[in-house]
Amino acid sequence: MSQLLQSHDYTVGHLTPNIVLYEPSFEGWLSAVFYVYANKLQNDDSLQLIAQDCYLPSLIAQATSVTTDEYNAERVLTKLHKLLGRSGMRNILWGFLSEKDNIGTTLFQVVKYAIDYPRRPIMEDLGNLNVLELVQTVKSVGREKHRMEAFVRFEHTTDDIYFARVEPDFNVLPLIGEHFRQRYQDQHWAIYDLSRGYGIYYDKSQSTPSRPATLQTITDLDDTVLRNPASIHSEDEQLYQKFWQGYFTNVNIKERKNPRLHKQYLPQRYWKYLSEKQVLPNAEHLQKRR
Amino acid sequence: MATINYERLQGKLNILADAAKYDVSCSSSAGTRKNQGGGLGDASATGICHSYTEDGRCVSLLKILLTNHCIYDCAYCTSRKSNDTPRAAFSVEEVVDLTMQFYRRNYIEGLFLSSGIFKSGDYTMERLVEVAKILRTRERFNGYIHLKTIPGASKELLLEAGLYADRLSVNIEIPTKSGLALLAPEKSHDELKAPMETVKTEIITIKESRKTHKKAPKFVPAGQTSQMIVGASNETDLQVIQLSSHFYKQYDLKRVYYSGYVPMLSDSRLPAIGTPVPMIRENRLYQADWLMRFYGFGAHEIVEPDSPFLDLDCDPKLAWAIRHREHFPINIQTATYEMIVRIPGIGTKTAKKIVKARKFNQLTLYHLKKMGAAVNRAKYFIATTGKNEHLAHLTRYNFRQYVLAQTQTKYKDQRNGQLALF
């Protein structure tokens, strides 16, 4: 807020900071970038690009909503691709998926830097605070992506789908789909992001011997099922969860216990959906029996 | 197909997971086994830790023994014949089922299968191979498989195992021949090394034939490894490191693992129950191992005969630098990469960055810090174009104490009980 109250020299008819709101999708943001350039707002230091659902209306700011326009989005995308190359575009997309409050603006500033200096390999300029912010964000998103590939726990359901619930900090489902698609070709599976209300679904009957099926997006799953997936567990699911819990408990070497290290590697915020963590330490099925 | 008794499976799994937990390897890397379409799983180059035990170790493979019945009586082993412990054995189908079901739920990257020895080496090894074969052929499983080769198993079985497994390993158990003779009188180093030689030779043969015949089968694509227990007999670090160096050179091993002995058996030949696990020593051995594999150090440089144990107070690279101050300071602007990686606090990644970046800029301590160097150690050993006032300390008579006092961090916490052992 204090930033907004500082006195700036705005051009006439332009007394308040410019806020451009975009529909919360990558195309939405691209459309907003197009809008900024079409209206020559790019050199305004106070310019902000904010996702509509993150925006808190303010008395002194002037906000314009930009509707998503696929044609404009496509034009911007083509241009950025040319400027930044594959790896640069990957940074932009991964940064976008972080959904950080200020990411729309940061990304815009990076893009503007690239447009202003088309010959410079701008992604290497970590002295530029926007680039640095983006690179660090991409690193965090990458870490979350890797953790989701590790910590997804599928549960087998009565309709023969292996179903997993996740709540990642960042929106990484679009990044992990391919990993699971390559790996789990011979089972139906779905991964559902509870905090964002959508998931990805692999229908193995759509696959051919040479090509795994295309992933589908699923939304609006039954809330009671999401809260209590045990209601749709197949006959065997509890059995294998217990096997896994028994295994997890018995591979531990008590003499080397190190809770700090354990939590560092396996952050507590993920425990909620890890089947091995849903068990009392002295439960009967953890015992060694003959 | 044999049926599975699910009622009893849980108890067996708990016993045989517990019995396998002292096997150190958890790696599922270096294999590249693609899902050929429609199958289950693939093994990527990096591997994934799916969980972590409460002792902080990675869980990436279903690591179990096929059985903990054993005809041997090795003193250090909980599965030894004379130990009163609950015994169990999996059927081949049970191991296949657990692997598939755990993999389907994304609990694991694959299977690590070892075993106590029942009846004979061959009888046991046959069953391990059978598990891998069924997983690959009937179940079309492309995840990672690491098989332990059983001492005394025939060459033919080892060769068959290598066609289905990503990795094979043989435990060398105890680093010294005398220690092994004392603690495992039925085993010998020569017997343990024989399968390594077989596997190494076959890897080379198949690599050669793949050059001309593209369809030639893959053979242990992720190579072979070994492990040894430290702290159960009275071996020195010098002996351990020389043996590892020998393995890396002679058998082209991918890794040697070290396992700090956890006392759990009462035996006059062993450290008493309650003796702390030598965790820092284990850590130092891994650091020394890294120096050999990635930093160009020879075994003879890491531990010297007049002082055959690693310094527990500081990492072996820092210890080497302190002993060999005549090589320092190293000028980061002009020194070779090989010398830059020898600077304490500078790893291979940072060294590569330095070599690149110095073409554009005169580097300072500030740059090094930004590139990820541990400047608190490095600063005593490097010359930059600017003045480095820390270099004044390099010639101090009490340099070692001085540097340690300024750089101690990680191990001064909960683990200090360990030092009493040495």
Phi, psi values for residue B200, rounded to 5° = -60, -45
Beta carbons of A285 and B10 less than 8 Å apart: yes
| B198-234 residues labelled b (16+ CB within 10 A) or e (exposed) | bbbebbeebeeeeeeeeeeebbbbbbbbbbbbbbbbe
CB pairs < 8 Å spanning A and B: 156
Q: What is the pLDDT of residues B232-285, one digit of tens each?
A: 999 999 999 999 999 999 999 999 999 999 998 889 999 999 999 999 999 999
**What count of residues does chain B have?**
422
**pLDDT interval class at A9 (50, 70, 90):** very low
Beta carbons of B18 and A250 less than 8 Å apart: yes
A149–chain B nearest CA distance, Å:
8
Chain B residues near residue A249 by CB distance under 8 angstroms: 14
Looking at A11-15, B155-159, B309-313, B351-355, which range is the least confident one?
A: A11-15
Alpha-carbon span B226 to B217, nearest angstrom? 24
Alpha-carbon span B236 to B307, nearest angstrom? 10
Structure token digits, residue B217? 């089968």
Beta carbons of B106 and A152 less than 8 Å apart: yes
Q: What is the pLDDT of residues A173-221, one digit of tens each?
A: 999 999 999 999 999 999 999 999 999 999 999 998 888 999 999 998 9
Q: Is the pLDDT of residue A2 over 50?
A: no
pLDDT of residue A134: 95
Q: Quick one: average pLDDT of A22-47? A: 94
- Global pTM reads 0.90
Q: How far is CA A251 from CA A59, B53, B72, in A?
A: 59, 7, 23
Chain B residues near residue A236 by CB distance under 8 angstroms: 101
Beta carbons of A251 and B277 less than 8 Å apart: no
Closest chain A residue to B22, measured at CA: A253
Beta carbons of B86 and A275 less than 8 Å apart: no
CB of A21 closer than 8 Å to CB of A55:
yes
CA dihedral for B309, B315, B320, B322, sign (positive or negative): negative
Beta carbons of A246 and B13 less than 8 Å apart: yes
Phi, psi values for residue A76, rounded to 5° = -65, -45
Best mutation target among B28, B32, B105 (most A Cβ atoms within 10 Å) is B105
pLDDT of residue A241: 97
Q: Is the pLDDT of residue A60 over 60?
A: yes
Closest chain A residue to B94, measured at CA: A243
Q: Is the pLDDT of residue B422 over 70?
A: no
**pLDDT interval class at A15 (50, 70, 90):** low
B105–chain A nearest CA distance, Å:
4
Q: Quick one: average pLDDT of B1-21? A: 90
CB of B228 closer than 8 Å to CB of B183:
no
B15–chain A nearest CA distance, Å:
5
Chain A residues near residue B63 by CB distance under 8 angstroms: 251
Q: What is the pLDDT of residues B235-247, one digit of tens each?
A: 999 999 999 999 9
Beta carbons of B39 and A183 less than 8 Å apart: no
Nearest to B48 by CA among A152, A97, A140, A52: A152
Q: SS3 for chain A, per residue?
A: CHHHHCCCCCCCCCCCCEEEEECCCHHHHHHHHHHHHHCCCCCCCCCEEEEHHHCCCCCCCEEEEECCCHHHHHHHHHHHHHHHHHHHHHHHHHHHHCCCCCHHHHHHHHHHHHHHCCCCCHHHCCCCHHHHHHHHHHHHHHHHHHHHHHHCCCEEECCCEEEEEECCCCCCHHHHHHHHHHHECCCEEEEEECCCCEEEEECHHHCECCECCCCEEEECCCHHHHHCHHHHECCCHHHHHHHHHHHHHHCCCHHHCCHHHHHHHCCHHHHHHCHHHCCCCCCHHHCCCC
Q: Regarding beta strands B167-173 and B110-114, do their DSSP bridges make them parallel or antiparallel, or are they unpaired?
A: unpaired
Q: What is the pLDDT of residues B403-416, one digit of tens each?
A: 998 876 555 544 44
pLDDT of residue B418: 42
Beta carbons of A242 and B10 less than 8 Å apart: yes
Alpha-carbon span B367 to A137, nearest angstrom? 22
Mean pLDDT, chain A, integer: 90
Q: Is the pLDDT of residue B6 over 70?
A: yes
How many Cα atoms are found within 13 Å in the side-chain-facing hemisphere of B305?
Answer: 0
Beta carbons of A182 and B49 less than 8 Å apart: no
Best mutation target among B7, B8, B9, B10 (most A Cβ atoms within 10 Å) is B10
Best mutation target among B28, B29, B42, B51 (most A Cβ atoms within 10 Å) is B51
pLDDT of residue B410: 57
Q: Regarding beta strands A216-219 and A198-202, do their DSSP bridges make them parallel or antiparallel, or are they unpaired?
A: antiparallel
A274–chain B nearest CA distance, Å:
9
Phi, psi values for residue B61, rounded to 5° = -125, 150
Nearest to A146 by CA among A270, A18, A5, A19: A270
Looking at A29-38, A60-69, B6-15, B372-381, which range is the least confident one?
A: A60-69
| Burial of B4: CB neighbours in 10 Å, binned 0-12, 13-18, 19+ | middle
Beta carbons of A185 and B13 less than 8 Å apart: no
Chain A residues near residue B360 by CB distance under 8 angstroms: none
B292–chain A nearest CA distance, Å:
27
B108–chain A nearest CA distance, Å:
9
Name the residue among B22, B55, B106 with its Cβ closest to that of A258: B55
Angle between helices A70-97 and A103-116 (to 10 degrees): 110
Q: Is the pLDDT of residue A290 over 80?
A: no
Chain B residues near residue A187 by CB distance under 8 angstroms: 40, 104
β-sheet bridge partners, residue B147: B113, B168
Name the residue among A150, A156, A259 with its Cβ closest to that of B48: A150
CB of A192 closer than 8 Å to CB of A163:
yes
Q: What is the pLDDT of residues B77-118, one digit of tens each?
A: 999 999 999 999 999 999 999 999 999 999 999 999 999 999
Name the residue among B13, B49, B87 with its Cβ closest to that of A150: B49
CB of B73 closer than 8 Å to CB of B117:
no
Beta carbons of B54 and A151 less than 8 Å apart: no
pLDDT of residue A16: 65
CB of A84 closer than 8 Å to CB of A92:
yes
Q: Is the pLDDT of residue A1 over 80?
A: no
CA-angle at B224, arms to B221 and B226, nearest 5°? 160
Q: What is the pLDDT of residues B29-86, one digit of tens each?
A: 656 677 777 788 876 657 899 999 998 899 999 999 999 999 999 999 999 999 999 9
| B115-139 residues labelled b (16+ CB within 10 A) or e (exposed) | bbbbeebeebbbbbbbbbbbbbeeb
Name the residue among A184, A240, A256 with its Cβ closest to that of B279: A256
Beta carbons of B56 and A265 less than 8 Å apart: yes
Closest chain A residue to B105, measured at CA: A154
Beta-carbon contacts of residue B38 (< 8 Å; ≥ 6 apart): A185, A186, A207, A209, B140
Beta carbons of A211 and B37 less than 8 Å apart: yes
Looking at A281-290, B221-230, B325-334, which range is the least confident one?
A: A281-290
A134–chain B nearest CA distance, Å:
17
How many Cα atoms are found within 13 Å in the side-chain-facing hemisphere of A222?
Answer: 6
Mean pLDDT, chain B, integer: 90
